[in-house]
Structure 1
Amino acid sequence: MNKKLRIGLFMALLLFTSLPFGTAMAEEEVTKKEQKQVLNIAHRGASGHAPENTMAAFEKSVDMKADMFELDVQMSKDGELVVIHDTTVDRTTNGTGAVKDLTYEEIRELDAGSHFSDEFTGEKIPTLGEVLDEYRGKSGILIEVKSPSLYPGIAEKVADELTSRNMDKPNNNKIIVQSFDHDFVQTFHSLLPSVPVGVLISYNPFGISDSLLSEFTEYADYVNPNKDMMDASLLERIHSFGMETHPWTVRSQEAADSLLQLGVDGIITDYPDYVDPHKP
Structure 2
Amino acid sequence: MGQEIINFAHRGASAYCPENTMAAFVKSIELGATGIETDVQVTKDGHLVLIHDETFDRTAGASGWVKDYLLEEIRNLDAGSGFHSDFRGERVPTLEELLQFVKECNIVVNLELKNSIVLYPGIEEKVIAAVRSFDLTAQTIISSFNHYSLALCKQLAPEIKTGILYMEGLYEPWNYARTIGADALHAEHHAVLPEFTADASKHGLVYHPFTVNDPEEMKRLIKAGVAGIITDYPDRLHEVLEAEGSSRK
* TM-score, shorter chain, exceeding 0.5: yes
Contact 2:185 2:206 in 1 (8 A): yes
Instruction: Give 1:250 deviation, angstroms.
Output: 1.0
Residue 185 (1) aligns with residue 112 (2):
no
Q: Per chain length, whose mean CA-contact separation is higher, i.e. which structure has more relative contact order (CA < 8 Å, sep 6+)?
A: 2
Contact 1:226 1:247 in 2 (8 A): yes
Structure 1 residue runs of 5 or longer lacking an equivalent are 1-35
Residue 272 (1) aligns with residue 217 (2):
no
Instruction: Give 1:152 deviation, angstroms.
Output: 0.6
Structure 2 residue runs of 5 or longer lacking an equivalent are 245-249
Counterpart in the other structure of 1:39: 6
Q: Distance in 1 between matches of 2:148 and 2:46?
A: 21
Which secondary structure state, in structure 1, belongs to the residue aligned with residue 111 of structure 2? strand
Instruction: Give 1:274 deviation, angstroms.
Output: 1.6
**Given residue 61 of structure 1, which amino acid in structure 2 is its aligned partner?**
S
Counterpart in the other structure of 1:164: 133
Counterpart in the other structure of 2:112: 144
Greater gyration radius: 1
Instruction: Give 1:223 deviation, angstroms.
Output: 0.8
Q: How does 1:77-226 map to 2 (within 5 A)?
A: 77-138=44-105, 139-147=107-115, 149-168=118-137, 170=138, 174-202=139-167, 204=168, 207-210=169-172, 212-218=173-179, 219-226=181-188
| TM-score, normalisation: structure 1 | 0.81
| 1:158-178 C-alpha deviation (Å, 9 max, x unpaired) | 01111222223x4xxx11111
Q: Distance in 1 between matches of 2:215 and 2:175?
A: 33
Which secondary structure state, in structure 2, belongs to the residue aligned with residue 177 of structure 1? strand
Contact 2:141 2:163 in 1 (8 A): yes
**Given residue 217 of structure 1, which amino acid in structure 2 is its aligned partner?**
R
**Given residue 108 of structure 2, which amino acid in structure 1 is its aligned partner?**
G
Q: Distance in 2 between matches of 1:146 and 1:267?
A: 20
Counterpart in the other structure of 1:71: 38
| 1:1-40 C-alpha deviation (Å, 9 max, x unpaired) | xxxxxxxxxxxxxxxxxxxxxxxxxxxxxxxxxxx73211
**Given residue 256 of structure 1, which amino acid in structure 2 is its aligned partner?**
M
Q: Distance in 2 between matches of 1:56 and 1:150?
A: 28
User: When the two structures are aligned, how many residues end up with a matched partner?
Assistant: 237
Q: Distance in 2 between matches of 1:137 and 1:199?
A: 27
Which secondary structure state, in structure 2, belongs to the residue aligned with residue 110 of structure 1? coil
Contact 2:56 2:62 in 1 (8 A): yes
Contact 1:85 1:146 in 2 (8 A): yes
Contact 1:217 1:242 in 2 (8 A): no
**Given residue 152 of structure 2, which amino acid in structure 1 is its aligned partner?**
T
Instruction: Give 1:124 deviation, angstroms.
Output: 0.2
Q: Distance in 2 between matches of 1:271 and 1:81?
A: 26
Instruction: Give 1:134 deviation, angstroms.
Output: 2.4
Residue 60 (1) aligns with residue 24 (2):
no
Q: How does 1:6-17 map to 2 (within 5 A)?
A: none
Residue 245 (1) aligns with residue 207 (2):
yes
Contact 2:12 2:28 in 1 (8 A): yes
Which secondary structure state, in structure 2, belongs to the residue aligned with residue 279 of structure 1? helix
